[in-house]
Amino acid sequence: MKLREIRGDEKLPLGIGCIDNLLGGGFDRGVINQIYGQGGTGKTNVAMQMAVSAAYSGEKTIYIDTEGFSENRFIQIGGSRPEVSSNVSLYRVSDFSDQEVAVIKAEKMIEKDQRFKVLILDSFTAMLRLERDEKSKNISMQRQLSIMQRLCNEFDLTVLIANQIYFDPDIQGITPYGGYFLDHYSKTILKLEKLQSGTRRMTIMKHRSIGEGNFVDFSITDSGLSCTPI
């Protein structure tokens, strides 16, 4: 148990003005942040931007990749600067149990070296979708989330989980993966969409101190995210 002074929620800025404004200064530290959307909407761009931005201010990131991390894209976003390569540890995983091992490894690293301030899982659910056994899937998902939640509480870690979507016939609409567990553990949930013009829209679906439905439009450019919509 920790006694804390109340000073307002601490933020991890993304370094992209319009998105930081939407989020009241940046992503909330000490909680699990979730970003979901269809393929190509910009989840990985946001995740990479977070790692780069944290690295610029000397904070270390563990980036767990399940989807094929593009080193070229990371370099375009600023990933070739020496402070980035020395502050970002990348793990590639190949199935859901390997992902759980990576989360446990991250836990050990964060406990040992408190310069690790950010944990990114891009994505949390790609491997989950391939897992057949429902029971072991749920147990592993809950185990991973509870580890991340504890790290958030103890070390003020900022977690970013990228999530995929599917069509839910019950609600006749698009919904993020991970069901109740992931929804419950995610204190911030952001939806990403691609508009007709190619502009991306980020909408707040859940946040502890900002109203749902607030959104911002931005674009993806050669060097990363830009606040000028297309």
Ligand X SMILES: Nc1ncnc2c1ncn2[C@@H]1O[C@H](COP(=O)(O)OP(=O)(O)O)[C@@H](O)[C@H]1O
- List contacts with Mg ion (CB under 5 A): 43-44
Q: From Mg ion, ligand X, none, which one binds at residue 41 (CB under 5 to 8 Å depending on kind)?
A: ligand X
Compare residues 43 and 191 and give the one whose CB is closer to Mg ion. 43
**228 near ligand X, rule: CB under 6 A:** no
Write b or e for each residue in 42-66: b if 16 or more Cβ atoms lie within 10 A of its Cβ, otherwise e: bbbbbbbbbbbbbbeeebbbbbbbb
Compare residues 43 and 117 and give the one whose CB is closer to ligand X. 43
Tell which one of 11, 73, 137, 201 touches ligand X (CB under 6 A): 73
The beta strands (E) that lie in the chain are given as: 11-12, 27-28, 32-37, 60-65, 88-92, 116-122, 158-163, 165-168, 173-176, 186-194, 200-206, 215-221, 224-226
Q: Is 187 helix (H, G, I), strand (E, B) or coil?
A: strand
Contact 31, 91 (CB under 8 A): no
Compare residues 142 and 221 and give the one whose CB is closer to ligand X. 221
Rounded CA separation 15/209 (Å): 20
Smallest distance, Å, CB 114 to ligand X? 29
Smallest distance, Å, CB 207 to ligand X? 20
34-53 residues in contact with ligand X (CB under 6 A) are: 37, 39-45
Compare residues 57 and 221 and give the one whose CB is closer to ligand X. 221
125-184 residues in contact with ligand X (CB under 6 A) are: none
**Cα radius of gyration (the chain):** 17
Q: Is 105 helix (H, G, I), strand (E, B) or coil?
A: helix
**200 near ligand X, rule: CB under 6 A:** no
Give the footprint of ligand X on this chain (CB under 6 A): 37, 39-45, 73, 76, 220-222
